[in-house]
Structure 1
Amino acid sequence: MMTAEMKDLHRNIGALRHHIETLKSLYGDVDAVRRMTNDLDRLEIDLHDFEHAPPPLRRTVNKDDVVYVPDSKSDEAAWLGAQDEGLGFHSRERTK
C-alpha cells in the first residue's frame, strides 16, 4: 500500500539523487559524494523493504491504560526482606 508519505519519500529520494548527481558532475567521484550516494541507496532499499513488509501500526494509548506513578517516596517497609542483588550497593541492612 502506497501512502502519501511514501510517495513523498520516493519523490524526495529522486530529488536527492538528482542533486547528488549534480555534485558528482561538479566535484567528481570523491569520497563524500560516494558516501552520499551509498546513504541514498540504503534509504531507497529501506523504503522498499518497509513498503513490502511494514511493521504493525502502533496502538494508541487509552487514558485507562496509563498508570500514574507518584514521585513521592515509597513505603520502605514494602521492601524489607528484598534482596539487593545486582544493584552494586546496599542502602539498608542486609536481610538474613
Structure 2
Amino acid sequence: MFAMASTTTELAELHRVLGQLRSCVSTLRSRYGDPPCVQRISNDVDRLDIDVAELSNVLPAPRRSAETRDDVVIVPDTPYDPALWRDADDEGLGGQAPQ
C-alpha cells in the first residue's frame, strides 16, 4: 500500500512539473514566436504528457526483496569440507609436500 501512495505522490509531482514546463514553453513561444526549435520543445512536452498519462495506468513493478535478488550470493558460515582442498596448491607457495 505504501508503494502505491508513493507512486501517486510521484505522479502528482510529475504532473505539476509538466504544467510548469508547459507554462515555460508558452512564455518562450510568446517571446520567440514559433520557430522549429520552439515547436520541437513543445512537441517534446506533449510527448512527455502522453507518457505520463500512460504511466498513470500502469501498475508499479513489485519490489524485490534482498533474498530474491540475482546479484546477491549468500555464503554460509559453516566450515567447508576439508576434502575440497585435498589436492589444492597454496597460491604463491607451490605444491604441498606429499605425506
C-alpha separation in 1, matches of 2:24 and 2:69: 49
CA deviation profile, 1:5-62 (whole Å, cap 9, x unmatched): 1111000000000000000000000111111111111111111111112342342333
* Percent of paired sites with the same residue: 44
CA deviation profile, 1:59-93 (whole Å, cap 9, x unmatched): 2333885127xxxxxxxxxxxxxxxxxxxxxxxxx
Cα 1:22–1:64 shift into 2, 3 Å: closer
Aligned to 2:12: 7
Aligned to 1:57: 62
Aligned to 1:34: 39
C-alpha separation in 1, matches of 2:69 and 2:14: 36
Aligned to 1:24: 29
Instruction: Letter of the 1:34 partner, please give it.
Output: Q
TM-score, length-normalised on structure 1? Answer: 0.60
Cα 1:53–1:4 shift into 2, 3 Å: same
Structure 1 residues not aligned, in runs of 5+: 69-96
Q: Does 1:46 align with 2:82?
A: no
Larger radius of gyration: 2
TM-score, length-normalised on structure 2? Answer: 0.59
Structure 2 residues not aligned, in runs of 5+: 75-99
Aligned residues: 68
Which consecutive segments of 4 or more residues in structure 1 shift more than 4 A?
none
